Structure 1
Amino acid sequence: MIAIIDYGMGNLRSVQKGLEKAGYAGFVTSDPEAVRSAPGVILPGVGAFADAMENLRRSGMIAPIMETVAAGKPFLGICLGFQLMFEASEEGGYFEGLGIFPGMVRRLPSGLKVPHMGWNELTLRRESAILAGIPSGAAYYFVHSYYVDPAEPDLVIATVDYGFDFCAVAGRGNVSGAQFHPEKSSDLGLRILQNFGKQVEGSC
């Protein structure tokens, strides 16, 4: 079963239900040992970056997350969970993230309506298992005020245009993440969760 990390800042049940609709079993857990033993892990999240990192520290989840990544197990970050995968965020100051990928989390530029909320189309930049079978132009549901700015361009899998192009999906190897909410993005969102489930199956 796929572990969905509960650190007090996520729409956990909707992710779990989305996985079930995609044909895969997921369980919500706040137990670091359960995360360590899971064949695949999802880090969801809504809210503030600094609070999320503090909750991960208090819950003892940082070590099992990094062990999951190092072990080559499939790992998926969603929305705030995606942002936490990077080195740091400028939300409310400067706060360090998990540092799985190099790059910063930055506020959407002035002049744009914040938060960015609603359906927007992806532009695929390269092939990836997490977006297998998904065409460029597919629409997904976004709700966020900050965006990921990867330090390495080859991390970018897909972008979205919201007054400017920014990274909507990033990944490398067993690790990937999406700024939008696949669990709230209809059939094409479920396809992403299905693709992730297939990655987990293939890694077992």
Structure 2
Amino acid sequence: MTSVVVLDYGFGNVRSAVRSLERVGATVELTADPRAAAEADGLVVPGVGAFAAVMKGLTAVNGDQIVERRLAGGRPVLGICVGMQVMFDAGDEHGEHTDGLAQWPGLVDRLEAPIVPHMGWDTVEAPVGSVLFEGIEDERFYFVHSYAARSFLLGTDEPASSRFKPPLVTWSEHGGRFVAAVENGPLSATQFHPEKSGDAGAQLLRNWLTTL
């Protein structure tokens, strides 16, 4: 069976993530042990709450190094909600600027919408060729967030003839467009919660497991 570590650093809806991954066929361990995280087929980085608090929790268990080493070796990582946001350069919440893991350029900041947070079921705009959204392109997913990346810069300046494969970016909208998911080599992430998104979320997790 496919082995997955859900990174345990004191933040995130970890029990729901563990149960959801087990239901779709993975063997799951909840731990911050670096060796287990390195050896698992997949690593999930969950996250809820504030960007700064999540980064503090991650660095306290060397989660930043764990993620960096896995990605350097081409080992799959899936970020969920704030676990996706921290993959960007930085977050700006309540005027507090916090450095992220800097896997992608860009800033996570507050949504510009009449109602914040963005909470509930919403559609997404998945790109052609998406593996995560194969067969569920028209489904709704469960969001609960006040902040997001509202642009995605990596790969946008690559010429059409480039051998570099640009990331696949999925978008959604709440007062304006924001990044709902990214597929970028071994690093994938979703702003919404697949573990709270019913059958569609379960299928997305199955799709991710096929990449491991």
Q: TM-score with structure 1 length normalisation? A: 0.92
Query: Do 2:111 and 2:175's aligned partners in 1 also have CA atoms closer than 8 Å?
Result: no
Is 1:142 the counterpart of 2:154 in the alignment? no
Q: Which runs of 5+ in 2 are unaligned?
A: 157-165
Name the structure 1 match of 2:180.
Answer: 168
Name the structure 2 match of 1:28.
Answer: 30
Name the structure 1 match of 2:115.
Answer: 113
Is 1:178 the counterpart of 2:190 in the alignment? yes
> Can you list the C-alpha shifts for 1:150-181, whole angstroms capped at 9, x where unaligned?
22355352111212221101121111100000
Q: Provide the C-alpha distance between the structure 1 equivalents of 2:58 and 2:177, rounded to a whole number of angstroms.
A: 30
Name the structure 1 match of 2:206.
Answer: 194
Q: Provide the C-alpha distance between the structure 1 equivalents of 2:114 and 2:88, rounded to a whole number of angstroms.
A: 23
1:42-53 paired onto structure 2 within 5 Å: 42-53=44-55
Query: Do 1:33 and 1:64's aligned partners in 2 also have CA atoms closer than 8 Å?
Result: no
Q: Which residue identity lines up with residue 67 of structure 1 in the other structure? A: R
Identity of aligned residues (%): 38
Q: Provide the C-alpha distance between the structure 2 equivalents of 1:30 and 1:157, rounded to a whole number of angstroms.
A: 29
Q: TM-score with structure 2 length normalisation? A: 0.89
Q: Provide the C-alpha distance between the structure 1 equivalents of 2:53 and 2:173, rounded to a whole number of angstroms.
A: 28
The alpha carbon displacement at 1:141 in A equals 0.2
Bigger fraction of residues in helix: 1
1:1-12 paired onto structure 2 within 5 Å: 1-12=3-14
SS in 2 for 1:45: coil
Q: Provide the C-alpha distance between the structure 2 equivalents of 1:61 and 1:90, rounded to a whole number of angstroms.
A: 21
Q: Provide the C-alpha distance between the structure 2 equivalents of 1:47 and 1:165, rounded to a whole number of angstroms.
A: 21
Aligned residues: 198
Query: Do 2:118 and 2:143's aligned partners in 1 also have CA atoms closer than 8 Å?
Result: yes
The alpha carbon displacement at 1:125 in A equals 2.6
SS in 1 for 2:211: helix
Q: Which residue identity lines up with residue 167 of structure 2 in the other structure? A: L
Name the structure 2 match of 1:99.
Answer: 102
The alpha carbon displacement at 1:46 in A equals 0.4
> Can you list the C-alpha shifts for 1:106-163, whole angstroms capped at 9, x where unaligned?
1101x4211110000011133222222222x310000000011322355352111212
Q: Provide the C-alpha distance between the structure 2 equivalents of 1:14 and 1:171, rounded to a whole number of angstroms.
A: 22
Q: Which runs of 5+ in 1 are unaligned?
A: none
> Can you list the C-alpha shifts for 1:20-46, whole angstroms capped at 9, x where unaligned?
111222111021222122121000010
Q: Which residue identity lines up with residue 174 of structure 1 in the other structure? A: P
Query: Do 1:85 and 1:97's aligned partners in 2 also have CA atoms closer than 8 Å?
Result: yes
> Can you list the C-alpha shifts for 1:43-81, whole angstroms capped at 9, x where unaligned?
001011111111111112211110111111111000000
Q: Which residue identity lines up with residue 21 of structure 1 in the other structure? A: R
The alpha carbon displacement at 1:195 in A equals 1.1
Q: Provide the C-alpha distance between the structure 1 equivalents of 2:110 and 2:167, rounded to a whole number of angstroms.
A: 20
Name the structure 2 match of 1:56.
Answer: 58
Q: Provide the C-alpha distance between the structure 2 equivalents of 1:145 and 1:69, rounded to a whole number of angstroms.
A: 28
